[in-house]
Amino acid sequence: MTEQTKAPPAVTLAALFFGFSKIGLSGFGGVLPFARHYLVETSRWMAAEEFNQQLGLCQFLPGPNVVNLAVVVGRRYGGLAGACLAPFGLLAGPVAIVLLLALLYDAYGALPQAQSMLRGIAAAGSGLLFAMAFRMALAIKRKPYFLPFTVLVFVAIALLRWPLPAVMLAGIALSGAVAYGLLNKDDGGGE
Amino acid sequence: MNTLLELFTEFALLSFVAFGGATALLPELYRVVVENHHWMDATTFAHLYAIAQAAPGPNVLVVTLIGWQVAGLAGALVATLAMCLPMSVVVYLLFGHWDRFKGARWQRAIQLGVAPLAVGLIFSGATLVGQSAGLGWAGWGFVLAVAVFSTKTKFHPLWCIAAGAALGLAGVV
């Protein structure tokens, strides 16, 4: 809270752009940990407490969290221009790299070697996703109440192949209602 | 033009239910681009995910690659913009107002309720990527090995990616 009332350090638009470019290029399979490190420890644009506060909003809303974070930080230090430049910096480098890879894929993707290599990487990617889901499942609070929702979503999406928007809206209504009730019983204990 | 417009509307709509980011959207992206629009086959979808995994950057890049596959450079930019822009606008407008509803009972209820759903989505995405890659028994064995290895150790995920590439090339997976 106190950090917010303090005058923010002067950060130029160029610094925002290059800072977020650095963040965007620093990690594989997600860059959130690198964003925290850069913003809080390297550049010291934000105190840890403020970072958590802003990240809370970005993670609460749907959409790519790191992009949302770039908008928030960009706006704070550079207004509308900053809110445009920070996410642009975040994405420009990685998008350029991934498009170069796409060109390679167009040219050589049909080769048997490329096909086998990509199948192997996809298998690794699938394994990493399972690990991520497992870690997230362990972190779920009030498991007896909420793990059934995880199972229901899996059945609806992976097995029955129902459309995700409908499943998510119904899920938020039901799971949110359960959460609302639980929070009533032990107000403040849910977090 | 028509395809670009479709791409934009489909992805912009999806961005509103992207709780858990682009990763949680994988199953729906698959449904939309492979099953509904037939913009690519399942194998290509798995390949694009593999490429996104092997490149640096935020998770949203898989969307960029899908856009590229559907409609070239314009498709890549339109898909990325559609996924990022709507919530960027919302987050821009909510900036400074978060304090007002942060901690409210409904806000905490949604936060608590959404997490298990996102986990279900990521389990689904993991299953789907493996399925669409056309893995055999050895392939699924490797998926399991990576999942266990990544859960139990702190090695950088790139090691798993490199191992996958090597085993794929060797014809094991």
> What pLDDT is attached to residue A94?
96
Per DSSP, B55 falls in state S
Q: Which residue of A has its CA nearest to B119?
A: A133
- List of chain A residues whose C-beta atoms are within 8 Å of the C-beta of residue B29: none
Q: B78 and B35, same structural domain?
A: yes
Q: B84 and B6, same structural domain?
A: yes
Spatial distance between the Cα atoms of B159 and B145, rounded to a whole number of angstroms: 13
> What pLDDT is attached to residue B152?
93
Number of domains in chain B: 2
Phi, psi of B40 (to 5 degrees): -160, 165
Res. B61 pLDDT band, cuts 50 70 90: very high
Q: Which of residues 22-51 of A touch B (CB under 8 A)?
A: 24-31
Q: Check whether B132 has a pLDDT greater than 70.
A: yes
Q: How much of chain A exceeds pLDDT 70, in percent?
A: 92
Taking the CB of residue A17, how many other CB atoms lie within 10 A of it? 22
Q: Check whether B126 has a pLDDT greater than 80.
A: yes
> What pLDDT is attached to residue A190?
42
Q: B117 and B164, same structural domain?
A: no
pTM score of the predicted model: 0.91
Q: Which residue of A has its CA nearest to B79?
A: A95
Q: B72 and B48, same structural domain?
A: yes
Spatial distance between the Cα atoms of B47 and B114, rounded to a whole number of angstroms: 29
Per DSSP, B133 falls in state T
> What pLDDT is attached to residue A189?
45
Q: B118 and B43, same structural domain?
A: yes
CB of B5 less than 8 A from some CB of A? no
* Secondary structure (3-state) at B63: helix
CB contact under 8 A, B113 and A29: no
Res. A3 pLDDT band, cuts 50 70 90: very low
Q: B143 and B130, same structural domain?
A: no
Q: B60 and B31, same structural domain?
A: yes
> What pLDDT is attached to residue A2?
44
Over the stretch A43-92, which tens digit does the pLDDT of each residue have?
A: 999 999 989 988 988 989 999 999 999 999 999 999 999 999 999 999 99
CB contact under 8 A, B116 and A140: yes
- List of chain B residues whose C-beta atoms are within 8 Å of the C-beta of residue A98: 51-52, 55, 57, 61, 64-65
Average pLDDT for B93-102:
88
Angle at A183 between CA A180 and CA A186, to 5 degrees: 155
| Block residue for tokens 């990240």 | A55
Two tokens at B66?
A: 């899908």
Q: Which of residues 87-106 of B touch A (CB under 8 A)?
A: 87-88, 90-92, 94-95, 98, 102, 105-106
Res. A99 pLDDT band, cuts 50 70 90: very high
Q: B94 and B27, same structural domain?
A: yes
Report the length, in residues, of chain A: 191
- Residue partners of B139: CB distance under 8 A and separation at least 6: A119, A123, B130, B133, B173
Q: Check whether B154 has a pLDDT greater than 90.
A: no
Q: B112 and B170, same structural domain?
A: no
- Average pLDDT across chain B, whole number: 94
Measure in Å the smallest separation between the Cα of B2 and chain A Cα atoms. 22
Handedness of CA A9, A37, A50, A12 (dihedral sign): positive
Q: Lowest mean pLDDT of A13-17, A38-42, B78-82, B94-98, name the range.
A: B94-98
- Give the residue from A22, A72, A64, A164 showing the smallest Cα distance to B81: A64
* Residue B37 exposure: Cα atoms within 13 Å on the Cβ side: 20
Q: B87 and B72, same structural domain?
A: yes
Q: B164 and B113, same structural domain?
A: no
Range of the domain at B171: 136-173
Does residue B31 contact residue B24 with C-beta atoms inside 8 Å? no
- A109-145 core/surface letters (b: 16 or more CB in 10 A; e: else): beeeebbbbbbbbbbbbbbbbbbbbbebbeebeeeeb
User: Which of A31, A58, A140 lies closest to B115 in CB terms?
Assistant: A140
Q: Which residue of B has its CA nearest to A175?
A: B113
> What pLDDT is attached to residue B95?
87
Handedness of CA A119, A124, A127, A128 (dihedral sign): negative
Average pLDDT for A2-17:
73
Q: B160 and B130, same structural domain?
A: no
Does residue A105 contact residue A115 with C-beta atoms inside 8 Å? no
Q: Quote ipTM for the complex.
A: 0.94
Phi, psi of B56 (to 5 degrees): -75, 155
Question: How many A×B Cβ pairs under 8 Å?
Answer: 384
> What pLDDT is attached to residue A186?
55
